[in-house]
Amino acid sequence: MAQRRELIKGSIDSLLLCLVVQQPMYGYQIIKELERRSQGYFKFKEGTLYPALHRLEEADLIQGKWQTLPSGRQRRYYHITEKGLYSLAAKRSQWLDFLVAMNLIIQPASD
């Protein structure tokens, strides 16, 4: 469990950027979407999500904007910025390189 937490901790920024690049999302929606798409593997707590979102916003990688829904309720939607797009491209490339290298080592030899 602790190992999984450490793995997730190192990937939070990439995960969040990957989600908001597809469409602007608000905090609760992000938690649900991550859980759904990872088939329950990623279960973020608020104490993990909001500091991460605020950190990405401080770094100008995403931008939060309040929007009022037709029901009158308000949501803070996070949009990716241009800097965020560049950062995501770099993170994706790093991640794929890492994955390929890990697979080469971790997978049992076929012959």
Partner 1 sequence: MTTALSHYLDSVRENLRLDLSLESEVIHELETHIEDELQELKDTGLSEEEATSTCLTLLGSAKLVARQIYETHSQGSWSQALFAAMPHMLFGLLFALNWWRGIGWLLGMLVLVLSMVVYGWWRGKPAWLFPWLGYSLLPVVAAGLLLLYLPQGWSWVAILLYIPMALLLVYAITVKTIRRDWLYSSLMLLPLPIIIGWFLAVEPVDKLPEYWLQRLQDFAPWIGLSFLALGVTVATFIRLRKRWLKVSVLVMSGLITLTMVAYYTEGRLSIPALLILIIVMLLLLLSPALVERTLRHAGQRPSV
Residues lying near partner 1 in the complex (CB under 8 A) are found at 26-28, 45-48, 50-51, 54-55, 58, 64, 73-76
Question: Between 81 and 92, whose beta carbon lies closer to partner 1?
Answer: 81
Question: Between 33 and 92, whose beta carbon lies closer to partner 1?
Answer: 33
Q: Which helix (H) or strand (E) holds 74?
A: strand 74-80
Question: Between 5 and 54, whose beta carbon lies closer to partner 1?
Answer: 54
CB of 33 to partner 1, least distance (A): 13
Token output for 61: 């990688």
CB of 61 to partner 1, least distance (A): 13
Is there a contact between 111 and 30 (Cβ–Cβ < 8 Å)?
A: no
d(CA 23, CA 46): 20
CB of 18 to partner 1, least distance (A): 20
CA angle 24, 86, 54 (to 5 degrees): 50
